[in-house]
Amino acid sequence: MRGILKIAYKLLVNDKGKFAALLMGITFAVFLMVMMTSMFAGILHRSSATVLNIGAKVWVMDPAVNTPANSIPMPDYVLDAVRSINGVRYAVPLYSGGALVKLRSGVYQSVTVIGLDDSSLYGRPELIEGQIEDIYAENAFVVVKDAEFRKLGNPRVGTEFEVNDHRGVIVGIARVTTSGLFGVPTLYTTFNRAISYIPSTRFTTAFILIEPKSNEAVPSIKAQVKALGYEALTKDEFIQKTSNFYKYQTGVGTNVLIMTVISFIVGLSISGQTFYTFILENLEKFGALKAIGAKGKELVYMILFQATFTSLAGYGLGIGLASLLITVARLRLPSYAAMITFVNLGFAFVMVLVIAGISSYIGVRKVLRIEPFDIFRG
């Protein structure tokens, strides 16, 4: 069988024009599909940046909250009520809100301010410069060194700025897993400083972060929080809820889906048509092979091999091209939100297999129908 497949391989790759067109079609389709889904994955990932970076196991929020960026402040009694729930090891408030800072240069810059619980600093980021204890110092803020860091003028420890007419000082530079989605820098401070420096509504607790005594306690905690009229979600559930919001309620998901389907159709059209032409041009030769003594299944293997080989080569090239573009884009635009995940790769792989399947189905049908007698008739 290897010899027959080698013939199939040579018939395919030695027809350089057709092979290049086939490869281009599939590469292009994979590239587009991977780019679309990667951008979407990047957006979804970044939309949950706060949840990922804080890392709390259970989050309590108003049921109307869809994403960590749009919190609805809760009254203080909710925090007390949550702390009294059986199964809660401890619960702390989290402030999350937007503010405008004035840099030393006079430029105003929007920022996201995360206010950590004063006593525990639960959810604190990993510092690459400075000491976390310094966050208790007067006017202290920790800045996150992410893609948006430069928008604050690449601050260093000791850099000063103004926030709502208050003096702010950078006391540490932190590293987080994920940058935010909205292109604004992030500052960490204590909860009390956040609510006193930043104009706030009557209620100030954006989220309550819970450390449960055990994983088994989570369902009961969720039920009791629900009885309070609020919602408790595990980290994964909150990420999922955020993803669902962007997927189904913003139009982003639909648009990406449409673009992905278009990419698939474009790839299928190019490669399907080219492969069909390739088969048509070689039809007499396949007929001659049949006359010589090739069995139907051997011809099917040849076509399947050709379609699969082209598809996998195109898949590899498409992934490579997408990775290259994302890498280059990130070098130029640090906030570029695209992320290749195994799900993206798997999805594109399945789509490529579908393209290969449909292309080879057309070819196989044609080849199996050719009668060797037609070769004699000319």
Partner 1 sequence: MADLAMRATELVKWFGEGDAKTVAVRGVSFDANFGEMLYIVGPSGSGKTTLLSIISGILRPNEGTVSVEDEDIWNMKSDQLAEFRLNRVGFVFQDYHLFPRLTTVENVAIPLILKRLDWNKSMDEAMGFLEIVGLKDRARLPPVKLSGGEQQRVAIARAIASRPDILIFDEPTASLDGDTGRRIVDFVKKNILNEKRCIIIVTHDSRIFEYADRIMKMEDGRITGFEQGVGHEE
Contact residues: partner 1, CB under 8 A: 1-4, 6-7, 10-11, 14-15, 284-285, 287-296, 298, 371-373, 375-378
CB of 305 to partner 1, least distance (A): 14
Alpha carbons 78 and 75: distance in angstroms, whole number:
6
Residue number, 1 or 331, with CB nearest to partner 1? 1
The pairing of beta strand 140-144 with beta strand 126-130: unpaired
The count of C-alpha atoms lying within 13 angstroms of the C-alpha of 114, restricted to the half-sphere facing its C-beta, is 27
Give the residue with the Cβ less far from partner 1, 141 or 278: 278
CB atoms within 10 A of CB 157: 16
Give which of 304, 286, 95, 103 is closest to 200, Cα–Cα.
95
C-beta of residue 191 within 8 angstroms of C-beta of residue 118 = yes
Q: Measured from the CB of residue 359, what is the shortest distance to partner 1 in angstroms?
A: 19
Would you give the DSSP letter of residue 133?
G
**Minimal distance, residue 32 CB to partner 1, in Å:** 30
Q: Which is nearer to partner 1, 15 or 129 (CB)?
A: 15
- Residue found by looking up tokens 């299928």 in the block: 268
Least separation in angstroms between residue 287's CB and partner 1 is 8
Q: Note whether 230 and 78 are within 8 A (CB).
A: yes
Write down the least CB distance from residue 289 to partner 1, Å.
7
For partner 1, the closer of residues 8 and 163 by Cβ is 8
Distance CA 89, CA 137 (A): 28
Measured over the CA atoms of residue 317, residue 318, residue 323 and residue 328, the dihedral's sign is positive
Residue with smaller CB distance to partner 1, 121 or 370? 370
> What's the CA gap between 346 and 341, in Å, rounded?
9
Q: Which of 35, 37, 27, 29 is nearest to 326 (CA)?
A: 35
User: CB-wise, 6 or 156, nearer to partner 1?
Assistant: 6
* C-beta closer to partner 1: residue 10 or 89: 10
Distance CA 154, CA 143 (A): 10
Q: How far is the CB of 279 from partner 1 (least distance, A)?
A: 14
Cβ 333 to partner 1 shortest distance, Å: 45
Instruction: Kindly state the smallest distance separating residue 276's Cβ from partner 1, in Å.
Output: 18
Contacts of 60 (CB under 8 A, 6+ apart): 74, 78, 82, 91, 207, 208, 209, 210, 225, 230, 231, 232
Nearer to partner 1, 3 or 158 (CB): 3
